[in-house]
Amino acid sequence: MEAKAITRHVRISPRKCRVVVDLIRGKSVVAANEILTFTNRGASEVVQKTLNSAVANAENLHHVRPESLVVKACYVDEGPTMKRIRPRAKGSASPIRKRTSHITIIVAPREEA
């Protein structure tokens, strides 16, 4: 009886996002929310929105109290990369890769996780 939330095409590098997601893996939802509130990273806001969405899914679909939930699994996959070019000296160009992420968070009741 787990609930899942996926946020796709987030305009932040997966490498930067994984740092934040690793902080909340295995924690209770209340503790994870506190950690994300006080984490000074750009990805923490998006990860917190995804976590709140997963909690809302569990609450609405399975009628589970949010206090009894645990972050069972969370991971960040790489999304499509937008390719741009930057003009350089002597008429040449350098590539710029604007990376995107897919964030997945799965929550489950404490005894099940």
pLDDT tens per residue, range 52-109: 999 999 999 999 999 999 999 999 999 999 999 999 999 999 999 999 999 999 999 9
Domain encompassing residue 14: 3-109
pLDDT score of 66: 92
Helix axes 29-38, 43-62, angle to 10 degrees: 160
pLDDT tens per residue, range 15-59: 999 999 999 999 999 999 999 999 999 999 999 999 999 999 999
Closest CA to 22 of 88, 73, 77: 73
Cα distance between residue 49 and residue 8, in whole Å? 12
3-state secondary structure of 7: strand
Q: Number of structural domains, the chain?
A: 1
* C-beta of residue 11 within 8 angstroms of C-beta of residue 98: yes
pLDDT score of 106: 97
Give the CATH number, domain containing residue 22. 3.90.470.10
Q: Which two tokens stand for residue 20?
A: 């934040």
pLDDT score of 31: 96
